[in-house]
């Protein structure tokens, strides 16, 4: 990671911490629910999806204040998915972002409700009057996010994931599951960042969309590799869960070496898609590299 990128990343992460603190003010009622939401959201996480919003927003010269709100909405939805994913009915985990999971710190009902409330908070932010230059742009943001996290995106992918436990699935089935469960929200983050500034040509939008799809899938391939290779300390969440739960992954289907090759292939395809944007896409390029090379 270049020093320049690493400084950018940590400045943006700090900026996100402030924005998230502002959208979840500590004194809101009911105090308990607000406390649970803040526990789940603040002080943790790489904030990759907000970074993708910022980096895509640079391509269309979007206003920083606008991007901050959109990035916050995407991160709140991501955190909701983590809180629900950790519940006993789902992945049943006790550690997330180096802290005990939300339902362990509080209780299951609080974790379910905090996840639900984070999701509605995200859509409330996106529908705030005046967020974008036009109502049509705001509707498009809401469409992109709701599509990405519903039955044909994240929730649908989670169902496929739960159904796959202990079963043998094909590579195309695994790919579809990963694209929906993880890739769809990452793709939405990029497209949302690119939707709130100058308008891209259809060709440019489709290039960016291809980048977003490649990097969304690559993110989960790397996650499979890290789950197999990383330690609990390094990841801040329980390592080796996929193998322990007999879950099909790129590593279990292809082996570590081929999984690494797949991630590299997707990375190169993603970079090729950015070529028409030249220097404007530098942050997206750096983020793609960060996603592939990350150790946590
Ligand atoms: C609707 C009841 C109900 C449940 C939904 C949506 C859902 C359950 C689960 C979502 C699926 C999910 C959690 C996918 C995992 C994606 C993934 C790789 C998460 C880790 O992302 P990072 O590494 O995490 O960016 P940090 O902590 O850095 O933000």
Is residue 80 within 8 Å of 111, Cβ to Cβ?
no
CA–CA separation, 277 vs 294, rounded Å? Answer: 24
Site to substitute for ligand 1 among 71, 82, 215, 251, most atoms within 8 A of C-beta: 82
Is residue 53 within 8 Å of 74, Cβ to Cβ?
yes
CA–CA separation, 32 vs 220, rounded Å? Answer: 33
Q: Whose CA is nearest to atom 26 of ligand 1?
A: 45
Please tell me the distance between residue 274's alpha carbon and the centre of ligand 1 in angstroms: 26
pLDDT tens for the chain, 296 residues long, are: 788 999 999 999 999 999 999 999 999 999 999 999 999 999 899 999 999 999 999 999 999 999 999 999 999 999 999 999 999 999 999 999 999 999 999 999 999 999 999 999 999 999 999 999 999 999 999 999 999 999 999 999 999 999 999 999 999 999 999 999 999 999 999 999 999 999 999 999 999 999 999 999 999 999 999 999 999 999 999 999 999 989 999 999 999 999 999 999 999 999 999 999 999 999 999 999 999 999 99
- Residue 103 near ligand 1, beta carbon < 6 Å: no
Please tell me the distance between residue 239's alpha carbon and the centre of ligand 1 in angstroms: 15
Please tell me the distance between residue 112's alpha carbon and the centre of ligand 1 in angstroms: 14
Q: Counting Cβ atoms within 10 Å, is residue 113 exposed (0-12), middle (13-18) or buried (19+)?
A: middle
- Residue 153 near ligand 1, beta carbon < 6 Å: no
The tokens describing 85, both together, are: 């994913």
Please tell me the distance between residue 128's alpha carbon and the centre of ligand 1 in angstroms: 25
Q: Whose CA is nearest to atom 6 of ligand 1?
A: 81
Cα Dmax for the chain: 51
């Amino acid at each position: 990671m270049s020093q320049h990128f690493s400084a950018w990343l940590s400045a943006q992460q700090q900026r996100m911490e402030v924005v998230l603190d502002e959208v979840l003010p500590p004194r809101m009622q009911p105090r308990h629910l607000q406390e649970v939401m803040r526990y789940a959201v603040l002080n943790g996480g790489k904030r990759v999806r907000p970074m993708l919003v910022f980096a895509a927003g640079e391509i269309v010269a979007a206003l920083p204040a606008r991007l901050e709100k959109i990035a916050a909405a995407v991160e709140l939805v991501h955190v909701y998915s983590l809180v629900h994913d950790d519940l006993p009915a789902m992945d049943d985990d006790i550690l997330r972002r180096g802290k005990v999971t939300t339902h362990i710190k509080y209780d299951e009902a609080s974790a379910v409700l905090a996840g639900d409330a984070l999701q509605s908070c995200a859509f409330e932010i996106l529908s705030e009057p005046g967020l974008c230059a036009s109502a049509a742009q705001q509707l498009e943001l809401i469409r992109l996010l709701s599509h990405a996290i519903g039955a044909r995106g994240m929730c649908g992918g989670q169902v496929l994931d739960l159904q796959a436990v202990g079963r043998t699935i094909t590579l195309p089935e695994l790919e579809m599951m990963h694209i929906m469960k993880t890739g769809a929200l990452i793709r939405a983050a990029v497209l949302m960042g690119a939707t709130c500034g100058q308008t891209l040509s259809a060709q440019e939008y489709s290039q960016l969309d291809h980048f977003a799809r490649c990097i969304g899938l690559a993110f989960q391939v790397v996650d499979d590799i890290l789950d197999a290779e990383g330690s609990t300390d390094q990841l801040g969440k329980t390592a080796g869960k996929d193998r322990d739960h007999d879950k099909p992954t790129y590593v279990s289907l292809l082996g570590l070496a081929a999984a690494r090759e797949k991630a590299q292939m997707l990375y190169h395809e993603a970079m090729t898609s950015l070529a028409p944007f030249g220097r404007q896409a530098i942050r997206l390029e750096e983020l793609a590299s960060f996603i592939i090379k990350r150790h946590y």
